[in-house]
Chain A
Amino acid sequence: SYVLTQPPSVSVAPGQTARITCGGNNIGSKSVHWYQQKPGQAPVLVVYDDSDRPSGIPERFSGSNSGNTATLTISRVEAGDEADYYCQVWDSSSDHHVVFGGGTKLTVL
């Protein structure tokens, strides 16, 4: 089945840039979506179709996808960005047709 690999944690100082990766076999051929989840809350979509932002999501959030790695980039990180981030793709060959990465905890130092 298809596996998405994320680093368990990423730490960054306020004002700096955070990059959260999502690795998968030829993931560049798939559309990747990213979700932010704060403690005790439901996930929120922050990037869809690799690099598009839903309305209401700051321009500081951006995405890219090529080869075997998709990346969520958060520029000018703020304390309020501290959360878990999950990538997601569809893969009909998997037992779970929707595959989520294991999640990355973003810590703002």
Chain B
Amino acid sequence: QVQLVQSGAEVKKPGASVKVSCKASGYTFTSYGITWVRQAPGQGLEWMGWISAYNGNTNYAQKLQGRVTMTTDTSTTTAYMELRSLRSDDTAVYYCARGYSYGSGWFDPWGQGTLVTVSS
């Protein structure tokens, strides 16, 4: 079955970086893209960006430009999201989800989520 499995929880200090992985299985990795969405405690869903697993093209939310980098490794069918210069308001659960194409469509399935806690 189609599945996305994410890396485990992280605790980071302000100013540090975090890299979350998302291992895909059960489908042709390069035929889809991966989107990243985060959810602060008790809050709604916030879109972070998109990466095409076909050619590596990325699109990021403007507020995260310069701090976020999304990559893929087609040899291991894994997507990565790195967030730098972490602040306390980056504390959230980070999700990856599969999408068919940038600019349209839905996200399905989602990974189980990775809790990133930023605290001094």
The yes or no verdict on A and B being binding partners is yes
Report if B110 contacts A (CB, 8 A). yes
The verdict on A54 contacting B108 (CB below 8 Å), with A43-B95, A95-B62, A95-B63 known, is yes
User: In the complex, which residues 15-36 of chain A have their Cβ closer than 8 Å to any Cβ of chain B?
Assistant: 31, 33, 35
> Could you tell me if B47 and A97 are in contact, using CB atoms closer than 8 angstroms?
yes
B95 closest partner in A (C-beta) = A42
> Could you tell me if A97 and B106 are in contact, using CB atoms closer than 8 angstroms?
no
Binding site for B on A (CB under 8 A): 31, 33, 35, 42-45, 48-49, 54, 86, 88, 90, 92, 95-103
- Sample 24 A-B pairs with CB under 8 A, ordered by A number: A33-B106, A33-B107, A35-B107, A42-B112, A43-B45, A43-B97, A44-B110, A45-B108, A48-B106, A54-B108, A86-B44, A86-B45, A88-B107, A90-B105, A92-B103, A95-B62, A96-B61, A96-B63, A98-B35, A98-B37, A98-B47, A98-B50, A100-B37, A103-B45
